[in-house]
Every structure is written in structure tokens, then in C-alpha cells.
């Protein structure tokens, strides 16, 4: 039995110990590990700053402050700039809406109704387009909803005075739907009858459906603003104001039909036939509205 004179490990009879060779192999690896540790220590500092602080700074500014600034402006100013940009976009959208020919024609109509109502109605029909007519049908739907809410509030106010109040949601929304559908049908029937009768009685001057639809929508164009005022007055819980509201409804109806008369006159060739055209159109509309109301 023999032992290694260097490490003291027990060896076999013919075995040679390899402890010296292993020691020589580990020495270069130890040197490489020490070099890597020194490089890591050097990388942990940058210009005398700890690594965490070096990453937290950019050109001498802490990272949090850098994110809070934009082009040298505090974050609050950046939010104010964003709000200004938003308001400019809204203003540009409003200007674009005013430049739209359909909206512009309606605005021009209402301006003309104040100064020269007959001429404004005639110009609106002559320069008619389908979109403007359907816009008035949509406006009527909106006004119908508003008026239903106003009358509901009027009933609530009346109940405070001891008249009692009951609300049925199904009937409420059914009334709104019936009013909108009935008005849309009325306008379309009126436009169709004016088109058929007008083109039947005149030879040289043919009307288009866009023109007769615009003429039919003149009623709503005049009627809607007036009945909105009447509805607001009707909320006042005194009998006199209820009478005023009724008078305004009558006035709105008369002015609406007169506006249709001037609109149709702009696209017909013989004034002698105008009473026949308008009379048949109004009669057909009344019959059609009665049928629609019976259905709904």
C-alpha cells in the first residue's frame, strides 16, 4: 500500500497520482474568474456614479423628471396643449359641418324664413336634394321625443297641484314611435302625391321627387320651432298660457301649409292649377295619415 507524497491520497500498486495536473488546470480558470469580477466592478460605476444612479439619470436629469417633461415643458402644460389640440379639432369638425351643402341649405332656409319667407321656401325647393328632406324627418323625430318629455314633465307639475299623475312606460314610448312613423309617412305621401299630380297637369316643366320632398318638408321646417316654444309655454300651470300654446299650434299649422304652397309654386308652370295640386296633395295626406294612425 502506498500514498501520494503531494496530497497524501492512497494509491494502488501501479497507480500514479494526478493531483499536480489538476492543480495546473484550475489555476488559469481561477485567474479568469478574478478578471471577470474586476470587470463587473468597473461596470458598476460610470464617471464615479453608482450603476443605479447612472441608469436613473439622463443628461443630469433624474428619470422620473425626464418622463414628466416634454420638450422642456412640465407635464401639466403638456396636458393643456393636448386639450387645446382637442378643442381645435372640434372647431374644425364644426366648420366642416357648416360647409356641408345639406346643412348649409337648411341654415340658409332658416335665415331666409326670417327675412323673406316666400323666397326662402322657393329657393329651398329649387335647389333641393334628398338628404335635406330626410334631415327634417330626423329633426321631427328628435322634437317628438323632446315634446313627449316636456308633456310628461307638465303632467308631473300638474300632479303637484293635486290633479294626480300616472305614468305608463309602454304607452309613453308607443306614442313616440307612432308620432315619428306617422309624420314620416305623412311627409312621404305628401311628396309623392305632389309629384304625381304636378307632373300630370303640366307638360313642359317636370318636377323631381327631391323637389317635392323638400316642399313637403317645409311644413316641418316652420312647424317644429313654433311648437317647441308652445310646449315650453304650456308647462306654465295657468289656463291663459294653455290658450297661448293652442294658438301657437294653430299658427304653426297655417304657416306650415302656406310654406308648402310657396314651395310647390316654385316648381310648377301654371298658377291656375296650383290650388288643385295642393288640395289633392293635402287630401291624400290626410287620408294616408288617418290610415297610419289606425294601424299604429
The answer as to whether 120 is a domain residue is yes
pLDDT at 169 over 90: no
The answer as to whether 42 is a domain residue is no
- How many domains, in total, are found in the chain? 1
The answer as to whether 279 is a domain residue is yes
Binning pLDDT at 50, 70 and 90, where does residue 95 land? low
Alpha helices in the chain (DSSP H): 19-43, 51-55, 63-67, 75-99, 101-115, 117-126, 130-158, 169-201, 209-234, 239-265, 274-295
The answer as to whether 39 is a domain residue is no
* Closest alpha carbon to 176 in 139, 154, 146, 135: 146
Question: What is the tens place of the pLDDT at every residue in 44-91?
Answer: 444 444 444 444 444 444 454 444 444 554 555 776 777 677 677 766
pLDDT at 203 over 60: yes
Q: What is the pTM of this model?
A: 0.58
Q: CB–CB of 74/68 below 8 Å?
A: yes
pLDDT at 215 over 80: yes
pLDDT at position 271: 83
pLDDT at position 158: 63
| More confident site: 40 or 68 | 40
The answer as to whether 267 is a domain residue is yes
pLDDT at 42 over 60: no
pLDDT at position 248: 92
Calculate the dihedral angle through the C-alpha atoms of 125, 127, 129, 134, rounding to the nearest 10 degrees.
-40
pLDDT at position 102: 78
Question: What is the tens place of the pLDDT at every residue in 240-257?
Answer: 888 898 999 899 989 999
The answer as to whether 57 is a domain residue is no
Question: What is the tens place of the pLDDT at every residue in 115-168?
Answer: 899 999 999 998 887 888 788 888 888 888 888 887 777 677 666 655 555 666
User: Rounded CA gap, 204 and 268, in Å?
Assistant: 10
User: Rounded CA gap, 19 and 29, in Å?
Assistant: 16
User: Rounded CA gap, 209 and 189, in Å?
Assistant: 11
| 3-state secondary structure (DSSP) of residue 61 | strand
pLDDT at 40 over 50: yes
Q: Which residues contact 267 (CB under 8 A, 6 or more apart)?
A: 125, 126, 198, 205, 207, 211, 212, 215
Buried b / exposed e over 98-120, threshold 16 CB at 10 Å, is eeeeeeebbeebeebbeeebbeb
pLDDT at position 75: 55
pLDDT at position 97: 53
Question: What is the tens place of the pLDDT at every residue in 219-231?
Answer: 988 988 898 888 8
- Considering all CA atoms of the chain, what is the largest pairwise distance in Å, rounded to the nearest integer? 144
What are 171's three cell numbers?
A: 304607452
Question: What is the tens place of the pLDDT at every residue in 5-35?
Answer: 777 676 676 677 777 766 555 545 554 555 4
User: Rounded CA gap, 58 and 71, in Å?
Assistant: 14
What are 125's three cell numbers?
A: 325647393
pLDDT at position 32: 53
Q: What are phi and psi of 70, to 5 degrees?
A: -140, 110
Q: Which residues contact 63 (CB under 8 A, 6 or more apart)?
A: 55, 56, 57
Angle, alpha carbons 247-249-251 (nearest 5°) = 70
The answer as to whether 253 is a domain residue is yes
Phi-psi category of residue 59: left, alpha or beta, with phi > 0 → left and psi -120 to 50 → alpha: left
The answer as to whether 153 is a domain residue is yes
The range of the structural domain enclosing residue 291 comes to: 101-295
pLDDT at 198 over 60: yes
Amino acid at each position: 500500500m502506498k500514498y501520494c507524497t503531494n496530497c497524501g491520497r492512497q494509491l494502488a500498486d501501479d497507480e500514479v497520482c494526478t493531483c499536480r495536473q489538476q492543480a495546473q488546470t484550475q489555476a488559469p480558470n481561477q485567474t479568469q474568474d478574478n478578471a471577470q469580477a474586476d470587470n463587473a466592478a468597473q461596470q458598476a460605476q460610470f464617471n464615479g456614479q453608482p450603476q443605479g444612479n447612472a441608469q436613473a439619470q439622463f443628461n443630469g436629469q433624474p428619470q422620473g423628471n425626464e418622463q414628466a417633461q416634454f420638450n422642456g415643458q412640465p407635464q401639466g402644460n403638456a396636458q393643456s396643449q393636448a386639450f387645446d389640440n382637442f378643442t381645435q379639432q372640434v372647431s374644425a369638425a364644426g366648420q366642416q359641418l357648416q360647409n356641408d351643402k345639406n346643412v348649409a341649405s337648411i341654415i340658409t332656409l332658416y335665415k331666409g324664413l326670417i327675412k323673406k319667407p316666400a323666397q326662402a321656401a322657393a329657393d329651398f325647393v329649387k335647389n333641393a336634394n334628398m338628404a335635406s328632406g330626410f334631415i327634417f324627418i330626423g329633426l321631427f323625430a328628435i322634437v317628438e321625443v323632446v315634446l313627449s318629455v316636456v308633456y310628461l314633465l307638465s303632467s308631473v307639475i300638474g300632479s303637484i297641484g293635486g290633479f294626480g299623475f300616472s305614468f305608463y312606460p309602454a304607452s309613453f314610448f308607443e306614442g313616440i314611435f307612432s308620432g315619428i312613423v306617422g309624420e314620416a309617412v305623412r311627409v312621404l305621401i305628401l311628396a309623392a302625391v305632389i309629384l304625381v299630380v304636378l307632373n300630370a297637369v303640366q307638360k313642359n316643366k317636370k318636377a323631381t321627387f327631391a323637389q317635392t320632398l323638400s316642399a313637403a318638408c317645409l311644413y316641418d321646417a316652420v312647424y317644429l320651432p313654433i311648437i317647441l316654444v308652445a310646449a315650453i309655454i304650456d308647462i306654465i300651470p295657468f289656463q291663459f298660457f294653455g290658450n297661448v300654446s293652442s294658438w301657437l299650434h294653430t299658427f304653426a299649422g297655417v304657416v306650415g301649409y302656406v310654406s308648402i304652397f310657396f314651395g310647390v309654386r316654385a316648381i310648377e308652370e301654371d298658377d291656375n292649377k296650383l290650388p288643385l295640386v295642393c288640395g289633392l296633395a293635402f287630401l291624400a295626406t290626410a287620408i294616408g295619415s288617418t290610415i297610419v294612425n289606425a294601424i299604429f
